[in-house]
Amino acid sequence: MSVNVAVVGATGAVGDLMRKVLAERNFPIKSIKFLASEKSAGKSVEFAGKLYTVELIRPEAFAGVQIVLSSTPSSVSKEYSPIAARAGAIVVDNSSAWRMDPDCPLVVPEVNADELHNIKKGIVANPNCVAIPLCVALKPLHDLAKVKRVVVATYQSSSGKGAKGLMDFEAQISAWASGKPVPTPTAHKGQLAGNVITLDWTLDPNGFTEEENKVINETRKIMGDSSIGVCPTCVRVPVKVAHSEAITVEFHNPLSVANAKAALAKAPGVIFMDETKGGQFPQPIHAEGSDHTFVGRVRQDPSCPNALSLWVVADNLRKGAASNAVQCAEELVKRGIVK
Ligand SMILES: NC(=O)c1ccc[n+]([C@@H]2O[C@H](COP(=O)([O-])OP(=O)(O)OC[C@H]3O[C@@H](n4cnc5c(N)ncnc54)[C@H](OP(=O)(O)O)[C@@H]3O)[C@@H](O)[C@H]2O)c1
């Protein structure tokens, strides 16, 4: 079966990758259109070797569309995703607008693809770009020993702030490297060149950032276990693409390093790198451009008997956004859910 697709937010950092990923994965397309705001309407975008004109987002644009892959700010998704769903499409949405809505499944295909059979509002939420690789790595371990508590510190790339974040990054790095004054950031909340920022997101009243609260709530929803404790510290680092995560996970039951490594080595979507066998450890330069979640540095936590530490890296624009959304769309077609 091939389907009529609309890519919304087609001109952004995630939308750009969405076009690449759809073509690379040979998604079964009958027709495709690209939508954005009036700022980009009329511009050309490339898809599978052909140029397409970007259309202005408007309700009529969704007529006949079966799958919408949306990567806009939340406010835009709140307005347009229900319109697209009412027109008969299933929307896979990258914003945070619908993630905690009990009527919208929050899906990482390697973890909870069956949730796709429970789409009440016509909207599937694509999770946060930290929560996705975290859950891909946790799932095979959870199946063995049941996760009790997760402490995670992130090393998040500039592209997590979209096209504007990347412009900040490039301008700052080139000025910094040549000893010139570093330009004031427009997307990031501080200087990223030669620096790290832990308050690159809005601070919520509970002392955690908006990003950290997403990691807490979304991890529990994806894993289907609201009792899992999650304590994140999210940090922006001067890396262009790919988020890294230092994770310590406590289990209800004992789990040896050897058994954890064996499970990760055969887990779907995981590339396990065993540095103890003379191999490399996962780095952003490995993950950039890949749809996989890279896992390494698995070791016993010396301070807690049922706990392991590990290191996880994934491309935030791909597995953290576009590729996970396309994988959801593939499952919707494969399972006969899209009509
Ligand atoms: N970057 C990441 O790593 C990442 C990961 C996971 C999820 N997300 C989420 O994915 C979404 C997109 O992120 P991004 O990083 O790609 O942002 P971005 O680079 O700023 O791109 C935003 C896209 O949305 C479009 N847009 C903005 N306002 C619009 C409007 N009023 N009507 C229609 N289209 C509009 C823009 O089109 P114009 O060119 O017309 O402005 C552009 O195509 C966000 O909700 C973000 O939180 C991002």
Give pLDDT tens digits for 154-194: 999 999 999 999 999 999 999 999 999 999 999 999 999 99
Structure confidence by residue, pLDDT tens digits, 187-233: 999 999 999 999 999 999 999 999 999 999 999 999 999 999 999 99
Kindly state whether residue 135 falls inside one of the protein's structural domains.
yes
221 and 239 share one domain? yes
DSSP H or E run through 154: strand 147-155
Contact 45, 22 (CB under 8 A): no
* Count of structural domains, the chain: 2
Q: Assess whether 106 and 175 both reside in one domain.
A: no
Its pTM stands at 0.97
Answer whether residue 271 is part of any domain: yes
Full domain range(s) for residue 292: 131-316
Nearest CA to ligand 1 atom 4: 160
Q: Report yes or no: 14 and 322 within 8 Å, Cβ to Cβ.
A: yes
Q: Which of 37, 70, 234 to mutate to test the pocket of ligand 1 (most atoms within 8 A of CB)?
A: 37
- Clarify whether residues 311 and 196 are in a common domain: yes
Alpha helices in the chain (DSSP H): 13-24, 74-86, 109-112, 131-145, 162-177, 210-223, 257-265, 284-287, 323-334
Same domain, 257 and 330: no
Q: Which of 90-99, 133-142, 274-283 has the lowest mean pLDDT?
A: 274-283
Q: Is the pLDDT of residue 3 over 90?
A: yes
Judge if 56 and 100 occupy the same domain. Answer: yes
Token pair 């892959």 is found at 69
Distance CA 226, CA 232 (A): 16
Q: What CATH number is attached to the domain comprising 220? A: 3.30.360.10
- Do residues 72 and 155 share a domain? no
The closest residue, in CA terms, to atom 37 on ligand 1 is 36
What does the alpha-carbon distance between residue 235 and residue 304 come to, in Å, rounded to a whole number? 25
| 149 and 288 fall within a common domain | yes
Has residue 297 been placed in a domain?
A: yes
Q: Write out pLDDT tens, residues 239-292.
A: 999 999 999 999 999 999 999 999 999 999 999 999 998 889 999 999 999 999
Ligand 1 atom closest to the Cα of residue 317 is: 3
Q: Note the pLDDT tens digit of each residue in 45-86.
A: 999 999 999 999 999 999 999 999 999 999 999 999 999 999
What pLDDT, in 10s, does the model give residues 106-130?
A: 999 999 999 999 999 999 999 999 9
Asked whether residue 144 falls in the same domain as residue 261, the answer is yes
pLDDT of residue 279: 82
Q: Which tokens belong to 302?
A: 């010396």
pLDDT 10s digits, 289-331: 999 999 999 999 999 999 999 999 999 999 999 999 999 999 9
The answer to whether residue 186 is domain-embedded is yes
CA of 261 to the centre of ligand 1 (A): 37
Mean of per-residue pLDDT scores for the chain: 97
Active site residue 135: no
Q: What is the pLDDT of residues 279-300, one digit of tens each?
A: 899 999 999 999 999 999 999 9
Write down the pLDDT at residue 278: 84
For atom 43 of ligand 1, the residue with the nearest CA is 9
Does residue 129 have an active-site annotation? yes
Question: Which pLDDT band holds residue 40 (cuts at 50, 70, 90)?
Answer: very high
Task: List, chain by chain if needed, residues with CB within 6 Å of any ligand 1 atom.
Answer: 9-15, 36-37, 39-40, 57, 71-74, 76, 94-95, 129, 159-160, 162-164, 316-317, 320-321
Are 191 and 251 part of one and the same domain?
Answer: yes
Q: What is the CATH number of the domain that holds 88?
A: 3.40.50.720
* Torsion sign over Cα 72, 184, 208, 310: positive
Does some domain include residue 328?
Answer: yes
Are residue 173 and residue 301 in the same domain, yes or no?
A: yes
Is 339's pLDDT higher than 90?
no
Residue 123 covered by a domain: yes
Nearest atom within ligand 1 for CA of residue 74:
45
Position in ligand 1 atom list of the atom nearest CA 73: 45
Sign of CA dihedral 330, 333, 335, 339: positive
The answer to the question of residue 339 being in a domain is: no
C-beta of residue 315 within 8 angstroms of C-beta of residue 240? no
Residue 141 maps to a domain: yes
Q: Are residues 120 and 151 in the same domain?
A: no
Whether residues 18 and 162 share a domain: the answer is: no
